[in-house]
Amino acid sequence: MAAAAALLSAWFWDERFWLPHNVTWADMAGRSPPPGLVAWAFPLALGIFAVRLVFERFIAKPCAINLGIQDSGPHRPQPNAILEKVFTSITKFPDGRRLEGLSKQLDWDVRKIQRWFRHRRNQDKPTILTKFCESMWRFTFSLSIFSYGIRFLWSTPWFWDTRQCWYNYPFQPLASSLYYYYIVQLAFYWSLMFSQFTDIKRKDFRIMFVHHFAAVGLITFSYMNNMVRVGTLVLCLHDASDFFLEAAKLANYAKYQRVCDATFMLFGVVFIVTRLGIYPYWILNTTLFESWELIGPYPSWWLFNGLLVTLQVLHIIWSYLIIRVAYKALMRGKVSKDDRSDVESSSEEEDTTSNSTKGNFRTSSNGANRINGHIATGQWAEEE
């Protein structure tokens, strides 16, 4: 067993994969970030999660109440064992045939059964107060970490000259301020993974879990490979638009629609400028070309750049969706709301009939709304 573990460790930490040519782990001893320090992200993530709970209860919730946001949930349906069994065991969206069968079995009107299922689905969704508190926490953290990142990077040489990311690589010291910035970012994404299992489950649970897992993987990989200098640039650049997005959501929940629309448009501009302009010109240029010139390619270099190029493809897709939502908002005069968990309207359900064509149209409409909601609320698999 010990021999197998040793072989697995030797295979995983193969110098030919992780390190540039003619560099060994012996050369790196005492001259690179200690791998064990990354483990501090776990207890720090639990601390961040605890701070979030305190923040939401004693700061965000009073702010929401002062803004007139009430902790009132949706209307609860009357208890019905048969419908509850169908809801929990079979389907939350019964088709026309099942609705007719339930109508005969219960001697209820079809519209009454539709209304019951709508209210039952809404019962599991978070209130506006809950979403406001969550967004206020994300806004506060995003603004704080972005401010710290800008302040830290402003005094670093690689912020002004990206070639400095590769001078003397991989033998670059890990300053305490750089480590704190990196480990807090990693801990935050770990805390998001923890909180997904305690928060109210939403439609994009799996997508967001994969996103958070990918973010943790990228941050950890760049730390272990000592690409932390360029990693700080990537992190700070992606933080630049997040707090605008959360501010737009806060304004939407508080029913300041004009502020919401303006802030969302500002978010869209910052997102597109940073992800389609600065990211390829600043980040990909240094990771692909300047690093090739100064240190040359090697296996983990290819993997790192492959992930960054994939991220750029996602930036293009997300920017297109943002532009589409912004265009629709201008046409309607209102930004799309968070359709991941908002309470369903009565018209949506009552317009559903047993006709299969109309049922398919309803499914397609909900899919489009979900995309718009993800863009308007920033819940996509990136954030990143």
Output the pLDDT for position 370: 36
Torsion angle of C-alpha atoms 333, 339, 343, 346, degrees rounded to 10: 70
Contact (Cβ atoms closer than 8 angstroms) between residue 94 and residue 115: no
- Strand locations in the chain, DSSP E? none
CA 332 to chain centre: 27
Output the pLDDT for position 329: 73
Contact (Cβ atoms closer than 8 angstroms) between residue 381 and residue 205: no
Contact (Cβ atoms closer than 8 angstroms) between residue 368 and residue 331: no
Helix (H, G, I), strand (E, B) or coil at 278: helix
How many residues appear in the chain? 384
For the chain, the structural domain boundaries read 31-70+126-342+369-377, 82-124
Closest CA to 377 of 209, 197, 198, 203: 203
Residues of 140-171 as b/e, b for ≥16 C-beta within 10 angstroms?
A: bbbbebbebbeebbeebebbeebebbbeebbe
Those residues whose C-beta lies under 8 Å from the C-beta of residue 234, and which sit 6 or more positions away, are 283, 308
Output the pLDDT for position 63: 96
- Report yes or no on whether pTM surpasses 0.95: no
Q: At what angle do helices 242-253 and 356-377 cross, to 10 degrees?
A: 120
Question: What does the pLDDT profile of the chain (384 residues) look like in tens digits?
Answer: 778 878 887 888 888 898 898 888 888 877 677 777 888 999 999 999 999 999 999 999 999 999 999 876 666 777 888 888 888 888 888 888 888 898 888 888 888 888 888 888 877 778 889 889 999 999 999 999 999 999 999 999 999 999 999 999 999 888 889 999 999 999 999 998 888 777 666 666 676 777 778 788 889 989 988 899 999 999 999 999 999 999 999 999 999 989 998 999 999 999 999 999 999 999 999 999 999 999 999 999 999 999 899 889 888 988 998 898 888 877 776 554 544 444 444 444 444 433 333 333 233 333 333 333 443 443 333 333
Task: Specify the fold of 82-124.
Answer: Arc Repressor Mutant, subunit A (1.10.10)
Output the pLDDT for position 259: 94
Q: Which helix (H) or strand (E) holds 231?
A: helix 228-239
Output the pLDDT for position 335: 53
Those residues whose C-beta lies under 8 Å from the C-beta of residue 176, and which sit 6 or more positions away, are none
d(CA 97, CA 48): 49
CA 198 to chain centre: 16
